[in-house]
């Protein structure tokens, strides 16, 4: 486990979930949480439950859909999948993210005057 906790913005988590679903296809909540954790290589520490707040928000916005199915351990599980509008949203958000990240990067690379 990492020593520092990153506070992540709501919108950032939304973007991560959307991208994960886009890349991996249908997943249940645990799958999404696990995948994000693996990718972040334990630098990102959130309560895994937070994922469900993000998921219900995305469903209500119509960016993902869900279907009930059975998990690997034979439990009732809900599988999430990105929708068409979700894909559009992801593209827009990703572009936006890159732009801001680029800008912040440039700002941080500025030489100090003294």
Partner 1 sequence: MPTGLRYFFSRVAALFRSKDFDRDLNDEIKTHLDLLVQDNIRRGMDPAEALRTARLELGGVTQLREAHRDTRGFPLIDTFLQDLRYTFRTLRRDAGFTTFAILIVGLGIGASATVFSLIDAMLIRPLPFRNPDSLVWISNNGDQTDLSGLTVPVGPFTDLRNETKAFSDIAAYFAFYSTGGDRLTGNGVSARLTSVPITHNFFNLLGVHPLLGRTFTVRECQGAEPVVIISAALWHSRFSSDPAIIGRKIVLNGNSKTIIGVLPESFDFASIFAPGSSIDLFSPFPLTAGTNRMGNTLMMIGRLKPGISLRQAQAEGNLLAGPISRKWNRPGLGLAYTSLDNHVSGRLQSGLFILFGAVCAVMLIVCVNLSNLQLARAATRQKEIAVRVAVGAGRGRLIRQMLTESVILSCVSALLGLGLAVGGTHLLANLETLNLPLRAAVHVDGWVLGFTILAAVLTGLLFGFVPAIEAPAVAVHDSLKENARSTGETSRQRWIRGALVVSEVGFACVLLVGAGLLIRSFLRVLDTDLGFRPENTVTLRVDPNRQYNTRLLRNN
Site residues (vs partner 1, CB under 8 A): 28-30, 33-34, 47-50, 52-53, 56-57, 59-63, 71-73, 75-78, 85, 89
Q: How far is the CB of 98 from partner 1 (least distance, A)?
A: 22
- SS3 label, residue 80: strand
Pick 96 or 104: Cβ nearer partner 1: 96
HSE-CB at 17 with a 13 A cutoff on CA atoms is 34
Token readout for 66 is: 């869900």
Q: Find where tokens 């919108």 sit.
A: 11
Local structure of residue 48 (DSSP, 8 states): T
What is the closest distance, in whole angstroms, from the C-beta atom of residue 68 to partner 1 in the complex?
8
Q: How far is the CB of 50 from partner 1 (least distance, A)?
A: 7
């Amino acid at each position: 486990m990492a020593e520092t906790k990153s506070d992540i913005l709501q919108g950032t988590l939304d973007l991560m979930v959307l991208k994960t679903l886009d890349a991996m296809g249908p997943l249940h909540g645990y799958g999404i949480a696990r995948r994000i954790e693996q990718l972040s290589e334990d630098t990102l520490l959130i309560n895994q439950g937070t994922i469900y707040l993000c998921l219900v928000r995305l469903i209500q916005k119509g960016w993902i859909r869900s279907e009930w199915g059975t998990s690997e351990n034979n439990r009732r599980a809900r599988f999430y999948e990105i929708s068409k509008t979700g894909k559009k949203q992801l593209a827009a958000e990703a572009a936006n993210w890159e732009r801001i990240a680029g800008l912040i990067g440039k700002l941080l690379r500025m030489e100090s005057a003294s």
